[in-house]
A and B are shown apart, each in its own frame.
Chain A
Amino acid sequence: MEGFLGLTLPSFIGQLINFLILLGLLTFFGYKPIRRMLDERANRIKKSMEQAEATKQEYDRARVEVEKRISKARDEGQSIVGQSEQAGERIKEEARQGARKEAQAIVDRTREELERDRDKIVDELRKEFVDMAILAAEKVISETLDKEKHRQIIEKTLEESAALRRNES
């Protein structure tokens, strides 16, 4: 019944089956899922490292690009500012010229108007003066002078005054 040191065929086969069952159990419920998990984790880590590397490169590239753009924009801005300064200068000059011309025109026109008004006023004044002078003279002298002489004197005076005015202008 009992073999050498307890070695028996049924027991031996039974233990062999035991071990094979354990091997199967551990392989399918233990090692396979765990190794899959380990592999997946390793893959995940590798992938995320690669991603991080790629992101860093992308970032570096973007930074260089942005810096380039900023410096370009700065240059452009500077040239725009220069141009607008020039344009402003030109516009100012033009405005100054225009204003001067306009002012001159206004001055000229005003002077003409003034002269015209003055002539008119002078003419009216003269007429009135003549009339008043005649009236006054008539009253003062009444009939001491005859009418012919009277007129001659006035005419002469007017003549002188006209000459005087012509000289003035």
Chain B
Amino acid sequence: MTGKRHRGSLLKIVVLAIAIFAMIIISFIGSEIGSGIIGSKPISFLNVEAPKYHPAPERPFHHLPITNTMITAWISIVVLGGLFFIGTRNMKLVPTGLQNFLELIVEAAANFIEDPAGERHGRWFFSVCTTIFLFIVANAWLSLIPGFETIHINGEPFLRNANTDLNIPAALAVVSFCYVEYWGFKAKGVSYLKTFFHFGPLWQALKLMFTGNIKAGAGGLLNGLVAVFAGLLEILSHLIRMVSFTFRLFGNMTAGMILVMIMLFLVPWVLPIVFYGMEAFFGFVQAMIFGGLTLGFACAAVMEEE
């Protein structure tokens, strides 16, 4: 009896697999590229518009300087703000529903942040790192909602994944940079500048040379020059971080968007689901990287050097 049932479910799986495979093949043949290869006419409802990509965000309202990524960013803000606003109305000591979910997120983030940063600094970093993470995730996941990119106004897409607008990664990178430097000064005061302008060892060596101890001074001179050079490199690295932050997020998200568009064009049925799943994962990973790197740089900035 169990064998019969087993055979029955196996049969179902085989039928399902064949159906899925058939849908992929049919949709490929029916699409513009597939029909071109075979030499038949494309089937109208499988004929997806060829992907057009402009790096700059479109403006659905021609007379208004509002881009579609700006609208998406507002939607993300409304969704996130609304979730937290509703979830924290009359909070209960024993959490239920949305409050429980939000507490889960906040507590996970707090643990993630306070693990390397410690209790005191963790409280400083918490808001910025968590908000960067949530904003990127919200932008990425909202754009995966079916129908998201199909709304058109005045011939332009009304909504677009906000992370694919270079302005957003750039803005986040600048925020991250400013906060890291601010925390550095907050933790160490003016002596935080020593990270970048480290002339101490060089002065010491020069002083030794001028007071007669030429041999020891000459030895220290090299160390002093290395320290100055390392400080200059540090300035460069802090500035370059912003660029890498910006283009890592922008590149990953844009590539994902283009990949999904191309897959939809080539094989309109079934197969793009896989890429949607991948995009959901990559959106999370990119958000994690952005927030995590901000946290890492912040920890490095406030860390006491011995």
Contact = CB atoms under 8 A, between A and B. Distances in A.
Interface of A: 2, 4-8, 10-12, 14-16, 18-23, 25-27, 29-31, 33-35, 37-38, 40-41, 44
Contact of B106 (A19, A38, A41): A38
Contact of A19 (B54, B81, B171): B171
24 contacts: A5-B166, A6-B56, A6-B167, A7-B167, A7-B170, A11-B167, A14-B167, A15-B69, A16-B174, A18-B171, A19-B131, A19-B168, A22-B77, A22-B135, A23-B127, A26-B81, A26-B131, A27-B127, A29-B84, A30-B85, A30-B102, A34-B91, A34-B106, A41-B93
Contact of A16 (B93, B95, B130, B175): B175
Interface in B145-185: 165-168, 170-172, 174-175
A47 to B, nearest CB: 12
B130 A31 contact: yes
Please list the 10 inter-chain residue pairs (A to B) with the smallest Cβ-Cβ separation, ordered nearest first: A6-B56, A30-B84, A15-B171, A11-B167, A5-B55, A25-B81, A16-B171, A33-B88, A12-B167, A34-B106
Contacts of B73: 15, 18
B70 interface: yes
Contacts of A4: 166
Chain B's interface size range is: 35 or more
Given A14-B70, A15-B165, A2 B106 contact: no
Contacts of B126: 31, 35
A33 B171 CA distance: 27
- Interface SS of B by simple majority: helix
Q: Describe A's contact surface by its main secondary structure.
A: helix
Nearest to B106: A34
A7 B172 CA distance: 13
